[in-house]
Amino acid sequence: MDLEEVRERAREVLRGICRVCAVCNGRNCPTGVPGMGGAGTGEGFRRNIDALASWKLNLRVLHSRKVQDTGFEFFGHKLPFPILAGAIAGAKVNFGGRLEEREIARALVLGAKACGTVALTGDGPDPEVFSAGLAAIKEAGGWGIPVIKPRANEEIIKRIREAEKVGALAIAIDVDAAGLLNMTRVGQTVEPKTVEDILEIARSTSLPLILKGVMTVADAEAALAGGAAGIVVSNHGGRALDHTLGTADVLPGIAAAVQGKLMVLADGGVRSGVDVLKMLALGAQAVLVGRPLLIAACGGGPDGVKAQLESLAQELTVAMRLTGCGNLRDISSEIITPVRS
């Protein structure tokens, strides 16, 4: 599938919402939140891009790593590469209903599964958002991870039971959605979570619990103390709070504090295999990709998502070869240099 044709079709579908720019960097978005851009000034979205760009790779080609293995162990499952599809939901509010919620969820979940990797799905004030994700995960034989909003614990646990029924691989909570006005305005609680709250949720299920939206060492340590099996270093693509740091700014400190104790994933501004490699060198075990995969889903459905993921994986392979890495264990801070402008 030709990715340029996919992007051209997506440009039509998303007209007035997203320009499907050559590089998706938050500099020319016609919309913020709702839409495809960032919250407020969009600075958090742009900082993700700039933070990644401030790290440069050390080209290294005189070495013995002639074959690259991008295989990644994810909670007992072998994935072909360390790139997952992030949750993109809220079709009615974000895309003016031009796409059906179930269509997006299906494209992301089935497209990811078609190339052996995993997608996350979303949650929102409209019950259709969560159920569309679950339906897609069910269709994929449980191969997906629902992300639940940081609702009251009993509401979260109710949704965990539903996720268990469809055989989901893990459960995630986007803890950075604790201030989401479109939930509170319609009387649906979202709230910051204490370590005790997290413990109660983690103990309610045998599935791994992933907390998405961790941007400080303190929150990473709270996630660990609460029994989370993983975190996503994420600022929700700059959509939760304006003027946050970029994820690549905070990732090294967080990874140093909790690496080896829980799984560290990261997202925000990953646009190429080179960006994937940078995130791994900064301490992530795998990355999530958001907006580029929604664009691929709009323009090409599951096949578009698969093609975009495979293109990123291919770029990662080349970038690993040119930095002396044969497998993911070879990737370390040795291969990157910060260049502060």
Ligand X SMILES: Cc1cc2nc3c(=O)[nH]c(=O)nc-3n(C[C@H](O)[C@H](O)[C@H](O)COP(=O)(O)O)c2cc1C
Q: How far is CA 230 from CA 41, 226, 248, 299, in A?
A: 30, 11, 18, 32
Nearer to ligand X, 23 or 59 (CB): 23
Q: Is 139 left (phi over 0), alpha (psi -120 to 50) or beta?
A: alpha
Nearer to ligand X, 63 or 158 (CB): 158
Q: Which of residues 276-295 bind ligand X (CB under 6 A)?
A: 288-291
Q: Is 89 an interacting residue with respect to ligand X (CB under 6 A)? A: yes
Nearer to ligand X, 138 or 149 (CB): 149
Is the distance from CB of 40 to CB of 32 less than 8 angstroms? yes
Out of 117, 131, 234, 285, the residue judged to bind ligand X by CB under 6 A: 234
Tell me the closest approach of the beta carbon of residue 61 to ligand X, in angstroms.
29
Q: Is 86 an interacting residue with respect to ligand X (CB under 6 A)? A: yes
**Among 75, 115, 83, 58, CA closest to 325:** 58
Residues 101 and 87: their CA atoms lie apart, in Å, by: 12
Q: Is 299 an interacting residue with respect to ligand X (CB under 6 A)? A: no
Residues 290 and 84: their CA atoms lie apart, in Å, by: 9
Phi, then psi, of 327 in degrees rounded to 5 = -150, 180
Nearer to ligand X, 174 or 324 (CB): 174
Region of 183-191, 231-239, 277-285, 307-315 interacting with ligand X (CB under 6 A)? 231-239
Which residues does 18 contact at the CB level (< 8 Å), separation at least 6? 10, 29, 30, 31, 35, 36, 291, 295
Q: Is 147 an interacting residue with respect to ligand X (CB under 6 A)? A: yes
Tell me the closest approach of the beta carbon of residue 101 to ligand X, in angstroms.
10
Pairing of strands 55-57, 120-121: unpaired
Region of 155-163, 180-188, 200-208, 261-269 interacting with ligand X (CB under 6 A)? 261-269
Letter for the amino acid at 64? S
DSSP label of 288? E
Q: Which of residues 100-119 bind ligand X (CB under 6 A)?
A: none
Nearer to ligand X, 146 or 300 (CB): 146
Binding mask 161-200 for ligand X (x = CB under 6 A): -------------x--------------------------
Nearer to ligand X, 237 or 300 (CB): 237
Residues 25 and 27: their CA atoms lie apart, in Å, by: 6
Tell me the closest approach of the beta carbon of residue 334 to ligand X, in angstroms.
26
DSSP string, 97-142: TSS-HHHHHHHHHHHHHHTT--BEE---SSHHHHHHHHHHHHHTTT
Active site includes 236?
Answer: yes
Q: Is 246 an interacting residue with respect to ligand X (CB under 6 A)? A: no
Binding site for ligand X (CB under 6 A): 36, 48, 86-90, 94, 122-123, 147, 174, 212, 234, 236-237, 239, 267-270, 288-291
Residues marked as catalytic: 236
